[in-house]
A and B are shown apart, each in its own frame.
Chain A
């Protein structure tokens, strides 16, 4: 091979080229925000195959939804979403009919998309129909009784009506959720094909919306540049004109960049870093308990030995909760252990399940269950959760050893635990998950009910299952509360999964960055941020 052949090969391999990131040099630091996170979006479309959590941060800020959740302020001044207050976003107002089966949404008349075209009811209709057109969207919308495009009616150019067969508490929250973004339907339809009527391929890599921020530049896996949409009408103009969001996989590198003052916001801080950064005091760390999120120890209650409720209770009494909370989570979160045993303490859920460490009781329960000599089992966790799961697993192993349960630890490579949970072949494990909606029956329906892997404990108590179905459309608050209380009592007694805690979402930021708002999806709300 001659030298010029080498040149040709090198040139072919290097054809890629970077898109110019036109970060105007003149922008002052005060108007620019630089965010570092562990990973970036793999799609700009909220609905699709394997869309990751980071994708939300982009489409949440680049698109508007019809409705949004309200805002409350925590004692430390942090803004927090308010699940039970729903307000208009792209809809300037909405009315719910007296029989609660129709929601009429009035669009802002002056709202436009990024390309300047007005937002019309047709765009809204297409966007909502689209959610139903894609499998995972349909599954989500059915939790709010929206299953057919006929339910989305265009009344006039600026009015849309959503009807449901019967009153459903989850219709409004679903419309304020992450899926139903409003697309610029004309633009999107121009990229639809017969095989892909909802333009999923195109919308995966392009934004056609009217949210508070426009996407200027995207280098996959490296960075995104956003600029404020100055004609945004759905709220007060955001405080930053430019946002540079970069992906830095290594937590140490993110941290040093923050402490050196080069980054404004650093996401996904591991618990021990959050503690030590806060102690060093150079920058602030906002730690917010994640609503609906929880980490837990699951037991497959469909198979021996965990099909025996006494065995599950014995495990729940044997766990060293406080030690785990300190060693694994560095107390960055809200405990779900301790609390009132055996019966409901209010109707909010998750709530502490009423178990505290009591080895004598654990031993006695194990003897009653017929396992006086203990048994052998395997405890699994996924390696991506190792920072927390590793110390938890060691403490579980040690504690259960004391009551005669011999535990082997199984570290499962990322992506594989889900498959094994789906097949219901994992006896005993550590996992985490989150529900977006705060209603306790929603939580129970996903995590304590049905054949999916999300029913982590394979819980199947007929009385409980009947209550899950009964509460679905319950509109009488007193009846609902009584039913939920009963369900809480049942999961405390039957303990198919042992809730450990709600971890905190720790975000590091410069002292000058203000207006941080925690949202149910745990990604950044760029609309409210500003520099003080």
Chain B
């Protein structure tokens, strides 16, 4: 518990650093938002000055920062010009969509990558090892917009088995009342099995596209880590003692190989959540990645800052969870007993 508190206390300076960095980085962008937003052809210098004042960009930088910090303390992330909504509202609306897609893709990736990596490590040089290498190489080298468009072309355009690859739900369906924001959960909570099936159908293609991308690092890390453990002495001892093969692989080898895999999982998850702009674009998935990119392109400071803050928080939380998982997997880390 003391460890947990210590870790949580460490989060505060990290987040403060992120707030400062996000503020400075957006100000370093080489574009003038006032000029950009005064976008009508009749806009003259007076209009631009009025826009600058309205956006609060006429103040000196330190004053702008104080205003921003004051807003943050009140839980106000500012206003997005791009969507016309408060940033906090936007992020709360978009994060569940990204999280749902990421979690499904993540689960898919783990389900395929870990067994595949283990199998490849058990028989290095075999057909399954080559298959693992092929899949992970293809996964990293195929850009997600290519694999996404390919899947759309085959399963929607040609075969017609997949639903229209637009958004999270059939536009003609009535979405369930929003409780968690996760459609797959909300439909079940509302007892709407047809809605659940529709949402599940909708998520398959984007999730597979994303999983293909995440497969590669996971499968490779599993394979490498398993190979290392399988060659170690305690495994030889276990074999010499005639333990069952299944027991050796699952209880002894895999458990010991898990640490680097879990570390990779954490990195891959955080990356998938924020950096899958291309999948979101191709499937018109209303996620935070494309929201952040759109805001960045249109010099919209508040959402970019809000996004950076949110992602930093999530990274910190994921790292915390990973640390806790270490303790569960490997008691030697002694986190709970120190």
Contacts and interface: CB of A to CB of B under 8 A. Distances in A.
Interface of A: 1, 9-11, 13-18, 20-23, 25, 34, 36, 41-44, 49-51, 135-136, 138-140, 142-143, 204-205, 219-223, 244, 246-250, 252-253, 256-257, 259-260, 262, 384, 413-416, 418-419, 422, 433-435, 446-447, 450-454
B242 interface: no
A44 B85 CA distance: 12
A415 B175 contact: no
Centre residue among A220, A247, A422 by max chain B CB count within 10 A = A220
Contacts of A247: 284
Contacts of B83: 42, 220-221
B43 A452 contact: yes
Interface stretch (B93-101, B104-112, B132-140): B93-101
Interface in B68-114: 81-85, 89-90, 92-96, 99
A14 B281 contact: no
25 contacts: A1-B320, A14-B95, A15-B181, A16-B178, A21-B175, A49-B38, A49-B51, A49-B54, A49-B81, A50-B51, A50-B300, A135-B46, A136-B43, A138-B47, A139-B43, A139-B47, A143-B42, A205-B84, A221-B94, A222-B286, A256-B152, A257-B166, A262-B164, A414-B298, A419-B36
B54 to A, nearest CB: 6
Given A21-B175, A204-B84, A419-B32, A1 B321 contact: yes
Contacts of A223: 167, 171
Contacts of A384: 297
Contact of A451 (B45, B298, B324): B45
A46 B177 CA distance: 32
B283 A253 contact: yes
B181 A22 contact: no
B153 to A, nearest CB: 7
Interface of B: 4, 29-33, 35-48, 50-51, 54-55, 81-85, 89-90, 92-96, 99, 145, 149, 152-153, 156-157, 160, 164-167, 171-175, 177-182, 281-284, 286, 290-291, 297-300, 317, 320-321, 324
A394 to B, nearest CB: 23
Nearest to A39: B294
Given A13-B96, A222-B167, 13 more contacts: A16-B93, A23-B173, A23-B174, A42-B83, A50-B81, A50-B82, A136-B51, A220-B84, A250-B281, A256-B156, A413-B297, A414-B297, A446-B41
B32 A140 contact: no
A251 to B, nearest CB: 10
Centre residue among A142, A259, A433, A452 by max chain B CB count within 10 A = A452
Given A1-B4, A139-B40, A22 B174 contact: yes
Contacts of B94: 16, 221
Nearest to A135: B50
B164 A17 contact: no
A17 B90 CA distance: 11
B99 A13 contact: yes
B41 A435 contact: yes
Contacts, number: 200
A252 B180 CA distance: 31
A16 B171 contact: no
Centre residue among B37, B99, B321 by max chain A CB count within 10 A = B37
B84 A14 contact: no
A205 B89 CA distance: 13
A21 B78 CA distance: 27
Contact of B37 (A10, A16, A49, A262): A49
Contacts of A248: 166, 284
Contacts of B167: 222-223, 246
Nearest to B324: A1
Contacts of B321: 1
A220 B48 CA distance: 26
Contacts of A135: 46-47, 50-51
Nearest to A256: B157
A139 B38 CA distance: 11
Centre residue among B46, B81, B177, B324 by max chain A CB count within 10 A = B81
B297 A49 contact: no
A142 B46 CA distance: 13
Nearest to A384: B297
A13 B103 CA distance: 14
Contacts of A36: 166
Contacts of B320: 1
Contacts of B145: 250
B42 A415 contact: no
A136 B178 contact: no
A259 B158 CA distance: 11
A422 to B, nearest CB: 5
Centre residue among B4, B51, B84 by max chain A CB count within 10 A = B84
Given A25-B172, A135-B47, A418-B36, A16 B152 contact: no
B93 A253 contact: no
Nearest to A220: B83
Contact of A249 (B36, B38, B149, B290): B290
Contact of A415 (B36, B149, B172, B291): B36
Nearest to A414: B297
A447 B42 CA distance: 10
Given A42-B83, A418-B36, A23 B51 contact: no
A483 B96 CA distance: 61
A27 to B, nearest CB: 9
Contacts of B50: 135-136
B335 to A, nearest CB: 13
A246 B166 contact: yes
A220 B174 contact: no
A452 B290 CA distance: 32
Given A42-B81, A205-B84, A416 B281 contact: no
Nearest to B277: A249
Centre residue among B40, B46, B82 by max chain A CB count within 10 A = B40
B180 A220 contact: no
B84 A42 contact: yes
A434 to B, nearest CB: 8
A419 B84 contact: no
Given A220-B84, A221-B83, A246-B166, A10 B180 contact: yes
Given A1-B4, A259-B157, A416-B30, A136 B47 contact: yes
Given A25-B172, A42-B83, A250-B282, A257 B164 contact: yes
Nearest to A247: B284
A433 B30 CA distance: 22
A42 B282 CA distance: 21
A205 B85 contact: yes
Contacts of A42: 81-84
Given A418-B36, A435-B41, A221 B283 contact: no
B45 A14 contact: no
A204 B86 CA distance: 12
B138 to A, nearest CB: 21
Contacts of A43: 84
Closest 9 CB pairs of A and B: A17-B178, A50-B37, A14-B181, A135-B50, A14-B180, A416-B31, A414-B297, A419-B32, A16-B93
A273 to B, nearest CB: 13
Contact of B299 (A22, A140, A221, A415): A415
Contacts of A51: 39
A17 B179 contact: yes
